[in-house]
Amino acid sequence: MIDKAGIIKIVDEHLKDSDLFLVEVKVSGRNKIMVFLDGDEGVPISRCAEISRFIESQLDRDAEDFELEVSSVGVDTPLFLPRQFKKNVGRDIVFTDVEGKKLRATLLEAHETGFVAEKEISKKKKKKQQEHEDPVQQFSYNDVSDVKVQVSFKKPTKK
């Protein structure tokens, strides 16, 4: 079976000093390798093809056959790495907090251990909101799950 750690090492070495970074590697029991990338400025398909060719050049199909897919993370893929959070500062996100509540917020800052977000307060809650409740809060990456960027198709308003 293909070694996942070996694939990670191959990709990390190739992406060193690059604006692209490895998000995840999956290897199925049938040697289907799936490599998911992200980048500070997105991931061009040409770079996916280049990385795919590089990985293939490092593996021996005669020793062990495999299927390989290299792609960028999808728009609906949860954020995993601090670098992904940093590149999405200023965007709206949806996530589940430690209490299991689903929250909408604007990502304000991202650090190595967590992020700062301004929670969206519904109109109903605004009326009831206690003055001491601050919508801007710090969250640890360990205390949240399923953090996704909210894609908006609204046209920006002109000022």
pTM here is: 0.81
Domains of the chain: 4-72 (3.30.300.70), 82-149 (2.30.30)
pLDDT of residue 65: 94
DSSP-derived pairing of the beta strands 32-39 and 67-72: parallel
Compute the average pLDDT of residues 18-46.
95
pLDDT above 60 for 126? no
Inform me whether the pLDDT recorded for 76 exceeds 90. no
